[in-house]
Amino acid sequence: MRELTRLEEQAVIDYDREHHKPWNNMNRTRFYKFLTLEGDDVEVRTVACRYGKGHYAIRPVFMKEVQRCSVDTTRMFVKDVCSHPMSGYVVDWSREGLSKVPEWAADGWFGVGYQASSHIWKIRDRPVINPEVLQQTERFKYCAWQPSCGDILDYLKVYAAYPRVELLVKAGLEVMGCKSGFVAQLEKDKRLMRFVMDNIASIKEFRYGVDIIRLAYAKGIDLCEAMHRIADRRHFRGSRLPREIDATKALAYMRAHKVASAWDYARYLRDCKELGRDLSDTKVSFPIDLKARRDEIAAIKKEIERRKDANRRKEMDKAIATLAVNLARLENVKGPFAVVLPKKEADLKKEGKSLHHCVGDGVYADKIKSGGLVIAFIRRKRSRSSSFVTVSFDRKTRKVVQCYGLKNSKPDKRVLDFINGPFQRAAQRIKAI
């Protein structure tokens, strides 16, 4: 893509001067779209403008191009602009002497992928200075774009793929001009197109969205009923109501039984589904006494979880005990300290609680069960039952990877000499996995 010429830049500056006086929003950056042609391809460029310093009547206008893309490319190119969640788009004006150099400043253009739904790098819905350029190409001269259609780049990309989108715009549905998925569906499904045309008056009057149109068409209902169904479903937004449940019936049930919390009701239904209950059975989905049924289902679920946890701990203890038997030679290491291997998961939890570190949080037990890690407790010989230092040994590299005392403190030199000496030599004789 070529750079903007001096005449094109001056056109942007003249437009800015005409529509914004220097005494209004003196230090605010304005963004505009400027169209250029490259053969039959239309290039959409976003330029930033800002007034310089000086008396308001003679303040100069500074302009720079911060974003460029074309209809036929799948990438956008950005320079000297970043996006902040709170402050929006921020332009680097340091080269013009209007701001400090920001941390994110970068030299030259960088490319990002174009996504119609992404707002990160798309400076949307800005005034288009020269839309008449579209009429200068054979490809876009019948394009019906207008500001109410949305971002011009989004619309032109849809128009390039589906030229019949202009029929929607000319029929008064310009807000759908950038809905690429819906336009593609209209292109393929003639019955849907006929449904839209038959209901175009009500769609325009009540501003029905694409989701309402799709639901009404799919279910064979009128648009008003579809709107109410979607509104009822949105009442359960965040509560994760199962899709098998009709939101309208669920809402009526809650009102009739004075159920205040949509989350509690939806959680009850999810628990029923998880336990294999048939949600099509109204006695399950819409019980007479919700509280009693919810407590019953919660108790069943709790008991299942308890059994699963007991089986998991049983398997874990068996794996840890088996490993301790196979590596029993480590407990016979000679030296000033004793080595104790954990025999069950409770030993790890007790060690972590005593030394205030994370060996008992469950992650290390899983690693021991998989066979990739060995945990050993270093104890004083006169008090083998008291926690002192915890060591972890990687069976793949056959090296000590961690060695911590109380509150993840570093052990003293005598302990480290024992671990790096006799213990390390004994551990290296363990068969690697």
Q: What is the pLDDT of residue 269?
A: 95
- The answer to whether residue 110 is domain-embedded is yes
Residue 141 belongs to some domain of the structure = no
Q: Which of 71, 101, 134 is the last residue of a domain?
A: 134
Q: What is the per-residue pLDDT for 432?
A: 63
| Domain encompassing residue 384 | 315-428
Amino acid at position 134, single letter: L
Per-residue pLDDT of the chain (433 residues; tens, 9 = 90+): 788 899 999 999 899 888 887 666 667 899 999 999 998 899 999 999 998 887 767 788 899 999 999 999 999 999 998 888 777 888 999 888 888 888 777 678 888 899 887 777 888 889 999 999 999 999 998 888 999 888 999 999 999 999 888 888 888 888 888 888 999 999 899 999 999 999 999 999 999 999 999 999 999 999 999 999 999 999 999 899 999 999 999 999 999 999 989 999 999 999 999 999 999 999 999 999 999 999 999 999 999 999 999 999 899 999 889 888 888 888 888 899 999 999 999 999 999 999 999 888 888 888 888 888 899 999 998 888 899 999 998 888 888 888 999 999 999 999 999 999 988 888 888 776 5
Q: Which residue matches tokens 């500074």? A: 62
3-state secondary structure 158-226: HHHHCCCHHHHHHCCCHHHCCCHHHHHHHHHCHHHHHHHHHCHHHHHHHCCCHHHHHHHHHHCCCHHHH
- Report the pLDDT value the prediction gives residue 208, as an integer from 0 to 100: 93
**Is 0.85 surpassed by the pTM of this model?**
no
129 shares a domain with 87 = yes
Residue 143 lies in a domain: no
What is the per-residue pLDDT for 305?
Answer: 93
Q: What angle do CA 66, 68, 70 make, to 5 degrees?
A: 170
Residue 124 carries which side chain, given as an amino acid letter?
R
pLDDT score, position 241: 93
Q: 182 and 242 in one domain? A: no
Distance of CA 171 to the CA centre of its chain: 36
Q: Is 348 helix (H, G, I), strand (E, B) or coil?
A: helix
Residues 60 and 118 in one domain: yes
11 and 111, same structural domain?
yes
* Torsion sign across C-alpha atoms 294, 295, 296, 300: positive
As to burial, measured by CB atoms within 10 angstroms (0-12 exposed, 13-18 middle, 19+ buried), residue 88 is exposed
Residue 178 CB neighbours (<10 A): 23
The whole-angstrom separation of Cα 178 and Cα 162 is 11
Tell which of 134, 162, 195 closes a domain: 134
Kindly state whether residues 73 and 184 are assigned to the same domain.
Answer: no
User: Which of 172, 207, 234 marks a domain boundary?
Assistant: 234
User: What is the number of other CB atoms lying within 10 angstroms of the CB of residue 428?
Assistant: 12
- Packing angle, helices 363-370 and 345-355, rounded to 10: 140
Please check whether residue 142 lies inside any domain of the structure.
no
Q: How far apart are CA 48 and CA 51, in angstroms?
A: 11
What are residue 212's phi and psi, to 5 degrees? -70, -45
Give the count of domains, the chain: 4
Q: Which pLDDT score is estimated for 177? A: 87
Same domain, 10 and 129: yes
Whether residues 354 and 415 share a domain: the answer is yes
258 in the same domain as 211: no
Same domain (yes/no): 106, 171:
no
Give backbone dihedrals phi and psi of 38, rounded to 5 degrees, phi first. -135, 90
371/411 same-domain check? yes
Does residue 296 belong to any structural domain of this protein? no
**Residues 230 and 245 placed together within one structural domain of the fold:** no
Same domain, 223 and 259: no
Element (H, E) at 229: helix 223-235
Q: Is residue 139 part of a domain?
A: no
d(CA 320, CA 374): 9
Angle at 69 between CA 66 and CA 72, to 5 degrees: 175
pLDDT at position 367 is 86
Q: How far apart are CA 402 and CA 400, in angstroms?
A: 6
| CA atoms in the 13 A half-sphere facing the CB of 38 | 15
- Phi–psi pair at 52, nearest 5 degrees: -85, -160
On whether residue 305 sits in a domain, the answer given is: no
